């Protein structure tokens, strides 16, 4: 069980994004074949691909935080001393954590308003609640990954200090 949790911790976003990209590719290929081979276009592939793309976009938030590949200026890292860069990284992670927490709260409000409207998508009839759930999933994963990014170095420091003392 611990191995499964560690695997999911390391690769959850990657696999979800890969599955959605494969699904998106297959659906678009199907639409192309239907349109140019059978001269008949389907109504639902464009909508489903759009929703897959939305989920991919929000899943990428957690992936980028996990891989420490958020937007940053690498030249600043080269110029600043290592300790200053570490403090700056901690500040960036704290600001990101606050941002993702704020956005998660607002995404719950957005999801609640979508549930009240009972709207469904035009071609597929999917409730908009499931589509807007992507914001909750994305910001929750980004929040979890931000907490991990903050606590990771602290845990390393504490365990390293304990090893030195003993």
The per-residue pLDDT for range 20-50, each reduced to its tens digit, is 999 999 999 999 999 999 999 899 999 999 9
Phi, psi of 127 (to 5 degrees): -60, 135
Instruction: Please say whether the dihedral angle defined by the alpha carbons of residues 109, 115, 116 and 122, taken in this order, is positive or negative.
Output: positive
Residue 99 has pLDDT above 90, yes or no: yes
State residue 166's pLDDT score: 66
Residue 147 has pLDDT above 70, yes or no: yes
On average, the pLDDT of the chain sits at 90
Burial of 125 (0-12, 13-18, 19+ CB in 10 A): exposed
Band (60; pLDDT cuts 50, 70, 90) = very high
Tokens of 21: 């990209």
Tokens of 39: 């001269």
Measuring CA to CA, which residue among 155, 141, 157 is closest to residue 66? 141
pTM for the model? 0.87
Angle between helices 128-165 and 82-117 (to 10 degrees): 150
User: How far apart, in whole angstroms, are the C-alpha atoms of residue 132 and residue 55?
Assistant: 9
Tokens of 63: 């992936």
State residue 80's pLDDT score: 86
């Amino acid at each position: 069980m611990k191995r499964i949790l560690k695997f999911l911790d390391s690769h959850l976003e990657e696999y979800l994004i890969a599955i959605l990209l494969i699904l998106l590719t297959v659906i678009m290929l199907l639409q192309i074949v239907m349109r140019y081979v059978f001269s008949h276009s389907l109504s639902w592939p464009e909508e489903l691909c759009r929703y897959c793309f939305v989920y991919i976009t929000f899943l990428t938030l957690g992936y980028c935080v996990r891989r420490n590949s958020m937007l940053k200026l690498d030249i600043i890292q080269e110029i600043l001393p290592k300790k200053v860069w570490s403090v700056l990284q901690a500040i960036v992670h704290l600001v990101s954590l606050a941002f993702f927490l704020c956005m998660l709260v607002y995404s719950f409000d957005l999801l609640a308003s979508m549930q009240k409207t009972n709207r469904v998508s035009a071609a597929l009839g999917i409730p908009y609640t499931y589509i807007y759930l992507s914001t909750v999933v994305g910001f929750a994963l980004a929040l979890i990954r931000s907490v991990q990014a903050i606590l990771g170095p602290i845990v390393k420091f504490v365990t390293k200090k304990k090893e030195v003392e003993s």
